[in-house]
Chain A
């Protein structure tokens, strides 16, 4: 009588252990896999900490007031500081942004605010807008050395501007144009449609709506894009290596050659023995990039808060 029941129980017990075993194995494989993933992730971050830590530890001791206020002297020993390179970098950034920001912001305004209404009216215009968007996409993927080559061919030799701030700024503007267009587009898209409707309903023209309502609302997003491009210009080397020259003197006007901070690091590392000074300059570069990243984070948080309305 009891026999089948015990058999059944035995079967259930067996099944249970097998499931437990399976579960154990699954859990074990999950533990192993997760351990590997954690290791990989932590390795990636450790690499970052290693690089930044190394540059900071080697670089900070060389940074002092004298290093910041003397100009590089050239030569094999890489004597001197970085005063003129800092100023050149600032010139370059300001000049490039002055050139690229109006173009990029204008293009983004057109894509978001104007393109839709024209698309429905005119087939040729629709095709043109599509092509322009493709152009932005292509431009975003072009590496900086190609921009450099382009700047070298057009501005340095064809337009005979020579190695100068002007050539470098124009080429740099081409480089950051897609960055500004994309971030501005995102910022404009984030502005609620009701803002525009309200303004148009009050009788404002399209342009009044854009300048009076949409742009102020999107401003922090646009600023994010500009800060992003500032970072890009500061850290870019290849494009300025072939358009800015490399003079260690301070540019007297837009037509003179100069040397940005990143370019200075490259020249110190390849043409001199002054690795400590290269490290010091690198440390300053990383600090600037960190500050810019912080600014972007703060600005985008502020932007979100403002649009959602707290």
Chain B
């Protein structure tokens, strides 16, 4: 063999390690081929289809053969490939060991004592190191011998193109997910549309899944949930809009800097609090308070009023943030012109700034509505989840706010885990309804906001 093949194109001497690696990958390639053939002729048994085994064996064998060839000619791509494979293997080992370790620690009712945890941790470390030794050593040396390998400009260019295509794939993942959501929810709700009919689903006023699915008594009308969603959202906007509008004006126009910083941090926190915490607050604090309101027939404290109060707090950060941004986006020259005409600060806000920001405020309200309609768990906890159309609890029609109800989202979450057949399909239809509606109003809000920016 020519001596040239034993030195790298960079003029460095080929380390013995790389020669070993070439041999190793070649052996792996042969091993995979032999194993695949053995599996195919059922000499070795393994719970896998024999054709799959043959194909997998051949493909893996071919891959490792290429890798071996790459190492022999000291190509950089071979190094990159093996490095990524090793990283995946190392992460896999780590994950398995962590599962093992924590399963041991949390096996009993209580955690093990501190000493036992430490001894387990020692075992975990030892095992991880033992398992990771071989791939780790290969990884280390490969990483170290980076100057032996070389690549041509063409290869580098090709690599760049592969990366670009790969990145394009990741960029398309979002739209792929949207398409999958569409496809699967529509497909699952097909049964409901054919069996029950769109008209009955959309205009039926009774939701009665029935104990056994497919009984004649079962009825799937979504009107009660639609009304429940509308009432609770309406209430949330009625309570939440003044609060968030006031807060936004305060933050954007009036408050001094230190107050603004405090408020901003608080509102950030408010948007981060888990929805179940709001739900819990509604159950434990708001419900007893509503129960005390002296209205005839008001007994539970759960219902539309409670849901509206909790929702209004939850949509406050959304509306406040977007409104504040909209107010800030109003050019300062508007304000200056108004001051120059002798207007006071409040007159400027009322007559100049707010009208200029009104489309942003509209978008904020729409996004608030969207957030309120999509909220699930907190609502289940406070709205009472009755499946009838909410009715006033006494002669006064306004007392409907004390009635229990159920929202579209709640309907899905409460029943999906045990539903089957038409029932399940009807729940998916509920999801489709919600999805399409939210899609439309979100697009509307986005369009308004974008129009605002270009203006």
Taking Cβ atoms with an 8 Å cutoff, the residues of A that contact B are 26-27, 29-30, 33-34, 36-41, 43-45, 47-49, 51-52, 54-55, 58, 66, 69-71, 73, 80, 83-84, 87, 102-104, 106-107, 109-111, 114-115, 128-129, 131-132, 134-139, 141-150, 152-154, 158, 174, 177-178, 181, 205-207, 231, 234-238, 241-242, 250-253, 262-263, 265-266, 269-270, 275, 278-279, 282, 285-286, 289-290, 292-293, 297
Q: Which residues of A contact B269 (CB under 8 A)?
A: 48, 52, 289-290, 293
A235, B274: Cβ atoms closer than 8 Å: yes
A55, B281: Cβ atoms closer than 8 Å: yes
A44, B413: Cβ atoms closer than 8 Å: no
Chain B residue, CB-CB nearest to A252: B103
Seed contacts A73-B109, A115-B171, A282-B276; 8 additional CB < 8 Å A-B pairs: A106-B169, A110-B167, A149-B185, A177-B174, A207-B164, A250-B102, A270-B380, A275-B280
Q: Bound state CA distance, A71 and B107, in angstroms? A: 9
Q: Which residues of B contact A129 (CB under 8 A)?
A: 171
Taking Cβ atoms with an 8 Å cutoff, the residues of B that contact A are 99, 102-103, 106, 109-111, 156-157, 159-160, 163-164, 166-178, 180-181, 184-185, 187-188, 242-247, 249-251, 254-255, 262-263, 265-270, 272-281, 283-285, 313, 316, 320, 344-347, 349-350, 370-371, 373-377, 380-381, 409, 412-413, 416-417, 427-428, 431, 434-435, 438-439, 442-443, 446
Give chain B nearest CB distance to A243 CB in angstroms. 10
Known: A38-B250, A51-B281. A285 touches B274 (CB 8 A): yes
Known: A41-B255, A138-B442. A177 touches B374 (CB 8 A): no
Q: Which residues of A contact B164 (CB under 8 A)?
A: 110, 114, 206-207
A40, B272: Cβ atoms closer than 8 Å: no
B434, A146: Cβ atoms closer than 8 Å: yes
A278, B280: Cβ atoms closer than 8 Å: yes
Q: Which of A114, A148, A177, A250 contacts B168 (CB 8 A)?
A: A114
Known: A44-B243, A144-B376. A250 touches B106 (CB 8 A): yes
Secondary structure dominating the interface of B: helix
A177, B428: Cβ atoms closer than 8 Å: no
A139, B320: Cβ atoms closer than 8 Å: no
Secondary structure dominating the interface of A: helix
B177, A265: Cβ atoms closer than 8 Å: no
Q: Which residues of A contact B263 (CB under 8 A)?
A: 41, 45
* Max chain A Cβ within 10 angstroms of own Cβ: one of B168, B267, B272: B272
Give chain B nearest CB distance to A289 CB in angstroms. 4
A205, B106: Cβ atoms closer than 8 Å: no
Chain A residue, CB-CB nearest to B100: A252
A103, B344: Cβ atoms closer than 8 Å: no
Give chain A nearest CB distance to B143 CB in angstroms. 16
Give chain A nearest CB distance to B347 CB in angstroms. 7
Chain B residue, CB-CB nearest to A105: B170
B272, A231: Cβ atoms closer than 8 Å: yes
Q: Which residues of B contact A148 (CB under 8 A)?
A: 412-413
Chain A residue, CB-CB nearest to B439: A138
A135, B175: Cβ atoms closer than 8 Å: yes
A71, B110: Cβ atoms closer than 8 Å: yes
